[in-house]
Structure 1
Amino acid sequence: MDPIASYLIVSLPQSADSRGWLEQSLNGGKSPIIPFKLDEFQIGTLDSLVQESEELSKLDQQLGSSVSKIVDILSSVTETSPTRSVLGKPVLNYIESFSWNTSKYRLDKPIKQLISVIANEAITLDNDVRASYQGYQTAKSNYVAADRKKNGDLSIKSLHDIVKPEQFVLDSDHLTTVLIAVPKNLISDFQHSYETLTDFVIPRSATVVATDSEYTLYTVALFKKYQQEFITGAREHKWHPRTDFVYSEEVLNNLRKEFDLTRANESKTKNDLLRLAKTAYSDILAAWFHIKAIRIYVESILRYGLPPKFDCSLVKFDKTNKNLAKSKKELIEKFGYLGGEAFDKNNANLHEYASLVDTDYEPFVLYEVDIV
């Protein structure tokens, strides 16, 4: 699915020059530069940060995939593209004005605990959406099957609104009635052949019951002993015996109820899914960006050292991603030196962590994020 907007998220050591360069020189000054506020977290030890870096990388990808999956679900269920909102704001407004939800995620808690709380909530909600979607798919399949019985052609549809008791031989020890849906182009073959298809077919018993654009439905009377032989011969002629149909008032009433029940259940599960998916999109995307905020903070410390002195910005691109690759290249050309010098300059003790820092990143902290 095409993104509605894309961002580069870049964290750099604090410098007036870097901020000015982003605003004036990156992509010729054409890309909006939006501050991305980072709070201070309880970081613990550097060893714990390295462990959390790996966990955050996986969780970031997982929640991003969850958001995309929910958008796919919403698009498949609704005919129009649903409005994307997060906690009451248009999604891009939420991202560009992001601030940490301190009332929900207290900043005096260790990073590991924050990650656990955010992840558990988001993953539980993602599982709920997947289960709800599976329930809807089942309900939809049941409704489609019931609808085919009600509104399909005469070779497959339910015949409870078509046939009448007087069209059948009922309560006979020897005779029975067979229903045959005959394609329009084979009617002549049927009329000339059905009486000789097997022994003891009642002559001239073929009676038209109904017709549609593709088939004509006939009843044929014959002796029960030869019913299966007649059905086999009919199939060889490419007619369609309706062996699924047995005239019974109880069965007919159940078929009527089946259609109504499956239609009501499909509608209910669809509405339940839409409500849950819209809520999940909001909550999981919010959780995703809280995880991103922690991840940026952790990676920035691992790259630039302590105390934490770095600025984070969003570089915004439209949905065509135009100039994103060019801008990424410009950033690496300008700040690539940080990959070789940041560890020495900020904190010699970080040397041992250099090879463990998230390999998805460039020589400095850089994300590419598509919002769908």
Structure 2
Amino acid sequence: MTTTYWLVSLPLRGSSADAAWATLQRHTGGSNDLSLNYKMRCPDLRVGTLDSLLALSDDLVKVNALAEQVVEKVRRQFGELGDATTSERELRVDGESVERYLTTFEWDEAKNPARRALKETVEKLSERLSRIDEEFKLKCGQLATSKNHLNAIVRKVGSGVNAQDLSDKVNPEDLVQTENLTTLVVQVPKLKTEVWTSSYETLASFVVPRSSKIIHVEDDYELRTVVLFRRVVDAFTTAAREIGCTAKEYSHDPEASRAAKSQRGALEQEVVQRRDSLLEWCQISYGEAFSTMMHVCTVRVFVESILRYGLPPDFQAVLMRPNMKHVSKLRKVLNQEFGKDASSHWDDEIGGDEKSGGGLVEDMYSYVSLTMKV
């Protein structure tokens, strides 16, 4: 289940941040029940030129989209890998729940120095996301390859008698092998049991009477043996096929049998190990990806605020958790209180659709507003 948050930048226009916060709380919080609000501290980032900010704004849209995709892919993969033993595990960010991390977000100065050029900061964030994405693809690909190899063996076991390994179904003591005689293993559909029983002795010359025995039973077929002379094997196999049964000459090979079981066991263990490895990786990398996304969002709020409100930076960033039952009313309140000096083309009615899609998008309001679903 996703939760909607807004990253909003409130223009101060000469008033104090405390005054803007008090106004927001008075009109949206408490008994108004329009939104839960949390102050968000933007670092004093390097502004650069207007042209560089305009170019960076376009780049940030792409980096933000990548961040959303990576976070969502890792979250979804973690959920798909989860089972009874992992269902209660929670994806965390820096050791905290996603909600607490969001509501107490702090800029990571060690990884992202605020005085570094904004373009370089965004490039570093993008590289971090790309690395996580590549690791994700690699680990998912490795798990998928192991699963495919294992599934191929499983399908072979459940396939026709000509393809599957019969070592665990056929007892060597059930086989008669001499210079002239041989034993065929026959897959007989249960619907063909009566036909087989009444006709197998006459499907070819030199079939040993009453030599057919049931050696294994599946849901829709039986494996039976039949003893006959070697020289009529081809004729018998063809005749059996005509009545819907599949016959195969079988010779027991202990070494091949052990090798097949060993291969399957190794693949099963490999799948488990790679699944557990990917699950652990998701837990670790989700936090890094989510943290990186929040830093991208913070840069976006800063850049869009400068482009919208001008210099010097004079705004209060706020994380809002809106009451989705009263979105329209909340937008009107924000527009009335913080959009008074906006140009006439800003209209609360042309805002972004809160119900459309997920991730972070910029809504066209008289104040900077980004919507995030997590």
With the shorter chain as reference, the TM-score category is: 0.7 to 0.9
Kindly state the Cα deviation for residue 110 of structure 1 after the two structures are TM-superposed. 0.2
Matches within 5 A, 1:89-108: 89-108=96-115
Are 1:280 and 2:285 an aligned pair? yes
- 1:333/1:226 CA distance change after superposition, 3 Å: farther
Q: Which moved more, 1:219-228 or 1:280-289?
A: 219-228
- 1:330/1:225 CA distance change after superposition, 3 Å: farther
Identity of aligned residues (%): 27
Q: Secondary structure at the match of 1:269?
A: helix
Do 2:186 and 2:248's aligned partners in 1 also have CA atoms closer than 8 Å?
A: yes
Kindly state the Cα deviation for residue 158 of structure 1 after the two structures are TM-superposed. 3.9
Kindly state the Cα deviation for residue 249 of structure 1 after the two structures are TM-superposed. 1.7
Q: 1:49 corresponds to which residue?
A: 53
Q: Which moved more, 1:187-196 or 1:254-263?
A: 187-196
Do 1:153 and 1:212's aligned partners in 2 also have CA atoms closer than 8 Å?
A: no
Q: 2:81 corresponds to which residue?
A: 77
Aligned with residue 264 of structure 2, among 259, 267, 271: 259
2:325 and 2:165 map into 1 onto residues whose CA distance is 55
User: Number of residues paired by the alignment?
Assistant: 350
- The unaligned stretches of length 5 or more in structure 1 are 344-357
Are 1:125 and 2:132 an aligned pair? yes
2:50 and 2:104 map into 1 onto residues whose CA distance is 30
Do 1:180 and 1:239's aligned partners in 2 also have CA atoms closer than 8 Å?
A: yes
Are 1:239 and 2:245 an aligned pair? yes
Q: 1:134 corresponds to which residue?
A: 141
Matches within 5 A, 1:1-372: 2-3=1-2, 5-14=3-12, 15=15, 18-26=20-28, 28-79=32-83, 80=87, 82-147=89-154, 158-170=165-177, 172=179, 175-224=181-230, 226-228=232-234, 230-241=236-247, 247-317=252-322, 321-324=324-327, 327-328=330-331, 330-332=333-335, 335=338, 339-340=342-343, 360-363=362-365, 364-371=367-374
2:126 and 2:212 map into 1 onto residues whose CA distance is 68
1:115 and 1:129 map into 2 onto residues whose CA distance is 21
Kindly state the Cα deviation for residue 36 of structure 1 after the two structures are TM-superposed. 1.2
2:248 and 2:134 map into 1 onto residues whose CA distance is 43
1:226 and 1:251 map into 2 onto residues whose CA distance is 27
2:67 and 2:306 map into 1 onto residues whose CA distance is 23
1:280 and 1:53 map into 2 onto residues whose CA distance is 26
1:171 and 1:104 map into 2 onto residues whose CA distance is 77
- 1:51/1:197 CA distance change after superposition, 3 Å: farther
Do 1:10 and 1:367's aligned partners in 2 also have CA atoms closer than 8 Å?
A: yes
Kindly state the Cα deviation for residue 118 of structure 1 after the two structures are TM-superposed. 1.4
TM value normalised by structure 1:
0.83
What CA deviation, in whole Å up to 9, does each residue of 1:12-42 have, x standing for no partner? Answer: 2124664344323238344211111101111
Q: Secondary structure at the match of 1:25?
A: helix
What CA deviation, in whole Å up to 9, does each residue of 1:124-144 have, x standing for no partner? Answer: 112101210121122223334
Kindly state the Cα deviation for residue 272 of structure 1 after the two structures are TM-superposed. 1.1
Q: 1:349 corresponds to which residue?
A: none
Cα RMSD (Å): 3.0
What CA deviation, in whole Å up to 9, does each residue of 1:40-59 have, x standing for no partner? Answer: 11121111111110110111
- 1:280/1:226 CA distance change after superposition, 3 Å: farther
Kindly state the Cα deviation for residue 340 of structure 1 after the two structures are TM-superposed. 1.6
What CA deviation, in whole Å up to 9, does each residue of 1:70-122 have, x standing for no partner? Answer: 11111111122530200111111111111111111111210111111111112
Do 2:27 and 2:333's aligned partners in 1 also have CA atoms closer than 8 Å?
A: no
Q: Secondary structure at the match of 2:134?
A: helix
1:66 and 1:232 map into 2 onto residues whose CA distance is 56
Q: Secondary structure at the match of 1:340?
A: coil
What CA deviation, in whole Å up to 9, does each residue of 1:256-313 have, x standing for no partner? Answer: 1012101110111111111111111010000000011011101110110000001111
Do 1:153 and 1:215's aligned partners in 2 also have CA atoms closer than 8 Å?
A: no
- 1:289/1:195 CA distance change after superposition, 3 Å: same
- 1:222/1:104 CA distance change after superposition, 3 Å: same
- 1:305/1:271 CA distance change after superposition, 3 Å: same
Q: Secondary structure at the match of 2:35?
A: coil
2:235 and 2:328 map into 1 onto residues whose CA distance is 71
Q: Secondary structure at the match of 2:313?
A: coil
